């Protein structure tokens, strides 16, 4: 169980890195003109979702779910795993509500066909990542807290 808790804490931290990076770059991205923003969206982020975002978020959700199933019913560690599950499920839902529709729309755009309301798409994309960042911090805090609580209870019980 301790190995699963450690794995959960590690993937939880990894799952928080990309959304936090998006929030940190947001002020600069909001200042870009349409063609440059579109070029960045279409080229710089290619591969991030399928190779980094989705795998770490799904791994954090899956390991959190396993911990909910295997940790003691009344334990603090289990309650924190439930918090993590909720955070990661909401994080994935946020992607499908905010980010995926924007990604799909802009895949067909060029600098010449950029719609007049492109900045609304940009704002929606950035808001989605800001929400995901907040949820990832909650999930990571719950995962690390759950791992710590589990280790503490094992130490008290003389199992470590």
The dihedrals phi and psi of 23, each to the nearest 5 degrees, come to: -65, -40
pLDDT digits (tens, 9 = 90+) for 17-66: 999 999 999 999 999 999 999 999 998 877 777 778 889 999 999 999 99
Tell me the angle at which helices 118-156 and 2-30 cross, rounded to the nearest 10 degrees: 160
The full set of domain ranges for the chain reads 2-156
d(CA 114, CA 35): 7
Give residue-wise pLDDT tens across range 72-116.
Answer: 777 899 999 999 999 999 999 999 999 999 999 999 999 999 999
- The answer to whether the beta carbons of residues 135 and 91 sit under 8 Å apart is yes
**pTM across the whole model:** 0.91
**CB distance 111 to 35 below 8 Å:** yes
């Amino acid at each position: 169980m301790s190995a699963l808790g450690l794995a959960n804490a590690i993937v939880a931290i990894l799952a928080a890195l990309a959304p936090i990076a998006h929030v940190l770059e947001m002020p600069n991205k909001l200042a870009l003109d349409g063609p440059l923003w579109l070029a960045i969206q279409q080229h710089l982020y290619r591969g991030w979702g399928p190779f980094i975002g989705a795998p770490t978020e799904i791994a954090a959700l899956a390991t959190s779910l396993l911990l909910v199933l295997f940790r003691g019913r009344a334990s603090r560690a289990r309650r924190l795993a439930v918090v993590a599950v909720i955070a990661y499920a909401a994080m994935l839902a946020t992607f499908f509500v905010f980010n995926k529709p924007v990604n799909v729309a802009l895949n067909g755009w060029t600098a010449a066909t950029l719609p007049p309301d492109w900045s609304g798409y940009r704002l929606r994309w950035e808001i989605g990542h800001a929400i995901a960042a907040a949820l990832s911090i909650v999930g990571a805090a719950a995962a690390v807290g759950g791992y710590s609580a589990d280790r503490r209870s094992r130490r008290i019980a003389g199992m470590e």
